Amino acid sequence: MFSLLKKEINSYLTSLIGYITIFVFLVINGLFLWVIHSYANVFDSSSASLDGLFYISPWVFLFLISAITMKMFAEEKKNGTIELLLTSPISDTAIILAKFFAALLIVILSVLPTMIYIICVYNLGSPVGNLDIGGILGSYIGLVLLGGVFCSIGIFSSSLTNNQIVAFILSVLICLVMYSGFDILSMITWLSKIDLTIQRFGIAYHYNSVSRGVVDSKDIIYFASVAAFFILLTKISLESRNWKK
C-alpha cells in the first residue's frame, strides 16, 4: 500500500496537477479574502477573523478535489491498466486507501500555506491579538475533514466510469448534494418539523459545528463514517467487474 501511496503522491508532485491545485486554491481564496469586496473580505468585515476563508474554501474544494480525483480510476480504466492494478498482490481496499490518502495529502498541502493568514489577521485585530484561535484551529480541522469526505466522493465517482469529465461532474454533483443539499431540503415547508434532523445528514451542519472551535466526537464520527461509506461504495464498484464476467 505504501509503495502505491508513494507512487500516487509522486504522480501529483512530479506533474503540474498538484501544484496547479495548490496555486488555484490559494489564489481564489486570497482574492476573496483580501481583494474582492464581499462577505469574505477581511477588510470589509467588522472584526478581524478568517470566517471568509472557511466560508469560501468548501466551495473551492468542491471543484478542485473533484478535479484531483477524477482521473484516479477513470484514467486506469481508459488506459486498460485497471485489471493489472486490481490483480496485483495489493488488496482493492489498500489501492483505494492509497489513492484516498494521496488526494488528501494534496488537500492538506493546499491548506497549510493559508495559516500565514492567522499572523496577518492577528496583527489586524483591535487590540492586536484579539483573535479566536480556538475557532480558527477548529475551522482548519473541519476543512481537512471536509476535504477527506470530498476525496472519498471523488474517488467513488472516478470508479464508476472511464471518462474523467463524467467522473468530475458526478463528483461535483454528489459533493454539492452532500454539502448543501440537506440544508435546502430542510427549508421545504412541510418538512419544517424535522428540519434540524435533515440538516444533520449534511456536511455543512457538521462543518459549521467544528468551525465554532468545539471538536465534538459526533462530528468526527460523522465525517469518518461518510468517508468510509464512499470508500466502501468504491470497493463495491471495483468488485462489480467480477460480476460482469
Report the alpha-carbon distance of residue 25 to residue 11 in Å, rounded: 19
Report the alpha-carbon distance of residue 88 to residue 241 in Å, rounded: 15
Res 155: pLDDT: 96
Report the alpha-carbon distance of residue 211 to residue 57 in Å, rounded: 12
- pLDDT tens profile 160-178: 999 999 999 999 999 999 9
Residue 194 carries which side chain, given as an amino acid letter? I
pTM strictly above 0.75: yes
Structural contact between residues 90 and 6, judged by C-beta atoms closer than 8 angstroms: no
Residue 124, burial from CB neighbour count under 10 angstroms (0-12, 13-18, 19+): middle
pLDDT(208) > 60: yes
CA distances from 46 to 30, 59, 198, 238 (A): 19, 23, 32, 50
- pLDDT tens profile 111-158: 999 988 888 888 876 676 667 778 888 889 999 999 999 999 999 999
- pLDDT tens profile 173-201: 999 999 999 889 888 877 778 888 999 99
pLDDT(245) > 50: no
Res 126: pLDDT: 67
Q: Which of residues 236 and 213 earns the better pLDDT score?
A: 236
